[in-house]
Structure 1
Amino acid sequence: MAQNNEILEGVLSEFEKLAAIPRKSGHEQAVSDFLKKYLTELGFAVTQDEKNNIIADKPACAGFENAPLTILQGHMDMVCVAAEGVTFDPLKDAIKLVRDEKFLRADGTSLGADDGIGVAEAIYIMKNAKDHGPLRMIVTVDEEQGMTGAIHLDAKHLQDAKFLINCDSENYDELTVGSAGSVNLDFSREIKWVKPEMTAAWQIEVKGLLGGHSGERIGDGRGNAIRTLAMTLAALSAEGEVELAAFNGGKARNAIPDDARMTIVTDLDKAAIEKVLNDQLERFNKMYGSVDPNARFELKNVDMPEQVMNAGDMTRLIRLLTILHTGTFAMSTVIPGLVETSANLGVVETTDTEVKVQYFPRSAVDQKLDEFRFMAEEWGALTGFTAHIGTQSPGWKENKDSKLAKIMADTFKKQNGKDMKVETIHAGLECGWHFRKNPQLDMVSIGVTTMDIHSPKERLLLETVKPQVDLIVETLHEIAKM
């Protein structure tokens, strides 16, 4: 393989190609078409399935034809989040990359290293690795929202393989061997609009929260902007007459919301509103301030809206948003320090006709997700919302006899002079679906070191790229000897 700088620049060159193509979850046609064309031009046998998953095969190098087939796997979509005040259209705008000596980040938006850098590494390795057995690269769609690509991937693409290396983890020295399951729970209600009766209109916004990935960061005890704003709306309603014209917050179901905003019409004066906001901020700080210290409210007078929700619809929304617990439910009794079960109140959106809520539980115990599905129906019935139950993604249980995990852990120690951390994580990975389709598949998940994913602060630690590539390449060499 190439020298340090050549590997880094080679991988980043592949990543730049992906960053130039808008690829928000659920909108992957353009990037899928690009991958099909590009990988075909590189000489690989490429399949683009009906969901836009990409499967690319490269034959074994001479002398290694009898080695087992290994899959390199990642996802092409990304969570698109922009910083406060940044104009960004995730369906049209490319990611603007900013690089210094230590990090690669984006200018005002999420970077998309989750999982663009994993895909870029896989392409680089498929192009440049030598002395390996048969290789297959699988790049799925919609991992971030619903794992649609993994769910609908034809099992035939997994059943002839022995090993799978998922390239979607966040620390180069961690070897993931298990992950949590999840289920998408959505709620919706048609809105009955009426003319406002109160005297003044205000916009109230919760800002400055840390946010972050709802799996990796949910155990940190960070605040949730949507829940904070819902509690504030309830507190304002207890002080005077309040009408609600809009309530919006969050950017993705699997990202802890760092901001939320609402427009109200009320007879409360500014001083009374500010007192409630100060009380709610004090309450927030007592609960979350030690880990999420920069929360704030912004209040501004706005033009009177033409319509507001009727009182019943506003009450039902408050009820739902305050019933839905967000954060950690239970810690693992098997693995100390690991979150076992959690849920994230990820998105609330008010449209001209309805209000929609996205709620995202995770658990290492599938039966607890079954309970969430049951509770969603009950919550909907109690609040007058329609519950929409998504497909439940299975958890991925650790294989104690994994040959691949041993090869990778031993190789990492030889290359880096330290042990690799072997762990099960609370975040969801597509490996659960792969395992369901081929229980004999020996899998691990690895990744370069990325920080603050699913946020505008997302960044990639450049010095971890070469060690990651070296680890995969040497692992492929070891597999080829089998």
Structure 2
Amino acid sequence: MAFENLEPREVFHFFEEICRIPHGSGNLQKISDYLVSFAKERGLEVRRDDELNVIIKAPGSAGYEDKAPVILQGHMDMVAVKNDDCDIDMKTEGLRTATDGEFVWAEGTSLGGDDGIAVAYCLALLDSKDIPHPPLEVVITTNEETGMFGAAAIDLSDLKGKQLINIDNEEEGAFIVSCAGGARIYSQFPLKRESFVGNLLKVDISGLQGGHSGEMIKCGRGNANIILARTLLEALDDVDVRLVTIEGGVADNAIPSTATALVLVNAEDVDAFVKSVGVTLKDVQGELEVKDPGLDIAVSEVAESAEQSAVTPQDTKKVLTAICAMPDGVQAMSSSVEGLVETSLNLGIIKCDEEKVTIDQSVRSSVGSSKKALMRKVTSITTVFGGSYEISGEYPGWKFRQESELRDHMVSVYEKMYGKKPQVMAIHAGLECGLLSEKIDDLDCISIGPDMQDIHSAKEKLSVASTKNVWEYLKAVLA
């Protein structure tokens, strides 16, 4: 066990157990079964629904039995991404965890600290025999990363708590009290194909940083999907390029760091194509020189001239133009909260089969009307270019609460422990608190968590010291 000597041992014990169980979004049966078994083995009340959400209830510790219950909440799914050279099957295998004593990570893949550490905190509290706490109602939801579908479907009518601590933040000492609403838009563009004789070339976008499309969108990092479409569209100005396939990104809420296309080009046009790609590479590198300096665009020959099915020139240009026409990144900054992104979107995934290209986008805004306007812009572009669309996973924002007993209590405890005020903030990323607040009248929420780096990427790290700090703080809050 890589984490057996890390403190707090009880938290890292459960976190490592979670890391052994595949739990990427949409692949949650095993982790849900584990949580149910955990509760039953300890004689705790547990309920699971059709969405695999799990609610575990524990009585208050000695002297706390009659206190008001507190709801602790996190999600069990992770964004499962890996490096191209990593041989792990993240649908069937656990993570290869590692630590240097300062951080923990997974070799070659994302770690899932978002939100596995929340689940680990909850399990450590439920498993404890000597930690003072009021009655606990632990809510562990599913498929948060792909649209908060578990939180949208969950029934909370049997909960008694009116105060909820969400443990889905990635910055110690930052208390989130409001967040953006959002939605997913899936656009499809039909393709016609025909036979074409040409050299089969592969175009790879790599070297970008990627990252969470809520928290990192303000950094202006490169979007591999859009850069790939732009590269091919600019090449069309000089040569006849026929799209064979195009794909990129792993999640609609992760800024895509890689993308790949296969194209057919006449043998006599290969040099001109490569030259055009080089020009685009130089241009985009200049644009991203400070914000995302590692971009590379590589062209390699897969096969010499041969006849193959390819997308027609009309549909090749149509799809590439549609992708390039889509808005992406920050669309508006907040006028009331300095430095806060108000409205954005991320073209996270491109998929391609014989009949269509599908693009998945994540829209966010803290202003409901702005979210709707941006969604209309995306759907309008889709239909203008002959596509169809579907909207799903729409979730509300979480409005700032002027009076909050929970916030006042948690700020007070933090000041006593650390001699300074925490940062009380709104964020552009989506949290489940908005959906859950609609299910319990007058629910008082706050979101906390330990320091993490580069979530939703293979560079993800979780701070050991911060994990311990938040554990001690959480215990103090409950006491």
Shorter-normalised TM-score: what interval? over 0.9
* C-alpha distance in structure 1 between counterparts of 2:14 and 2:351, whole Å: 35
The one-character-per-residue Cα deviations of 1:210-261 (angstroms, maximum 9, x if unpaired) are: 1000001000111101100110111111111110001010010000000111
Deviates more, 1:64-73 or 1:329-338: 64-73
**Residue 139 (structure 2) aligns with:** 138
Q: Determine if the alignment matches structure 1 residue 301 to structure 2 residue 265.
A: no
User: What TM-score does the superposition give when structure 1 sets the normalisation length?
Assistant: 0.95
Shift of 1:298: 1.1
Pairing of 1:282-297 with structure 2 (within 5 A): 282-297=282-297
User: What TM-score does the superposition give when structure 2 sets the normalisation length?
Assistant: 0.95
Q: Determine if the alignment matches structure 1 residue 93 to structure 2 residue 89.
A: no
Gaps of 5+ in 2: none
Q: Give secondary structure in 1 for the equivalent of 2:196.
A: coil
Q: Give secondary structure in 2 for the equivalent of 1:239.
A: coil
Code of the aligned partner of 2:263:
I
Code of the aligned partner of 1:14:
F
> How much identity, in percent, do the aligned residues show?
34
Shift of 1:47: 0.5
Q: Determine if the alignment matches structure 1 residue 212 to structure 2 residue 211.
A: yes
Q: Determine if the alignment matches structure 1 residue 154 to structure 2 residue 155.
A: yes
Taking a change above 3 Å as real, the CA distance of residues 32 and 24 of structure 1, as seen in their structure-2 partners, is same
Q: Give secondary structure in 1 for the equivalent of 2:308.
A: coil
* C-alpha distance in structure 2 between counterparts of 1:361 and 1:173, whole Å: 27
* C-alpha distance in structure 2 between counterparts of 1:6 and 1:474, whole Å: 20
**Residue 38 (structure 1) aligns with:** 38
Q: Determine if the alignment matches structure 1 residue 126 to structure 2 residue 126.
A: yes
Q: Determine if the alignment matches structure 1 residue 452 to structure 2 residue 454.
A: yes
Shift of 1:188: 1.3
**Residue 401 (structure 2) aligns with:** 399
Aligned residues: 472
Code of the aligned partner of 2:239:
G
Contact 1:376 1:387 in 2 (8 A): no
Contact 1:408 1:471 in 2 (8 A): no
Shift of 1:157: 4.5
Shift of 1:306: 3.2
The one-character-per-residue Cα deviations of 1:401-438 (angstroms, maximum 9, x if unpaired) are: 11111211221222223321110000000001011122
Q: Give secondary structure in 2 for the equivalent of 1:109.
A: coil
Shift of 1:459: 0.3
Shift of 1:439: 4.0
The one-character-per-residue Cα deviations of 1:101-120 (angstroms, maximum 9, x if unpaired) are: 21100000000110001110
Code of the aligned partner of 2:143:
D
* C-alpha distance in structure 2 between counterparts of 1:335 and 1:121, whole Å: 31
Shift of 1:305: 7.3
Shift of 1:67: 1.4
* C-alpha distance in structure 1 between counterparts of 2:61 and 2:467, whole Å: 24
**Residue 368 (structure 1) aligns with:** 370
**Root-mean-square deviation over aligned CA pairs:** 1.6
**Residue 102 (structure 2) aligns with:** 102
**Residue 181 (structure 1) aligns with:** 181
Contact 1:114 1:168 in 2 (8 A): yes
Q: Give secondary structure in 2 for the equivalent of 1:21.
A: coil
**Residue 232 (structure 1) aligns with:** 231
Gaps of 5+ in 1: 478-482
**Residue 473 (structure 2) aligns with:** 471
* C-alpha distance in structure 2 between counterparts of 1:237 and 1:87, whole Å: 36
Deviates more, 1:264-273 or 1:307-316: 264-273
Contact 1:140 1:150 in 2 (8 A): yes
Q: Give secondary structure in 1 for the equivalent of 2:93.
A: coil
Q: Give secondary structure in 2 for the equivalent of 1:384.
A: coil
* C-alpha distance in structure 1 between counterparts of 2:25 and 2:307, whole Å: 32
* C-alpha distance in structure 2 between counterparts of 1:88 and 1:371, whole Å: 41
Deviation >4 Å, runs of 4+:
none
The one-character-per-residue Cα deviations of 1:315-363 (angstroms, maximum 9, x if unpaired) are: 2211220111111000001100011110000000112332211011100
Shift of 1:273: 2.3
Shift of 1:7: 4.8
Taking a change above 3 Å as real, the CA distance of residues 291 and 377 of structure 1, as seen in their structure-2 partners, is closer
The one-character-per-residue Cα deviations of 1:88-133 (angstroms, maximum 9, x if unpaired) are: 3221121110111211000000001100011101111222263322
Pairing of 1:401-416 with structure 2 (within 5 A): 401-416=403-418
Shift of 1:24: 1.2
* C-alpha distance in structure 1 between counterparts of 2:202 and 2:265, whole Å: 11
Pairing of 1:241-320 with structure 2 (within 5 A): 241-267=240-266, 269-303=269-303, 306-320=308-322
Pairing of 1:334-413 with structure 2 (within 5 A): 334-413=336-415
* C-alpha distance in structure 2 between counterparts of 1:346 and 1:340, whole Å: 19
Code of the aligned partner of 1:320:
A
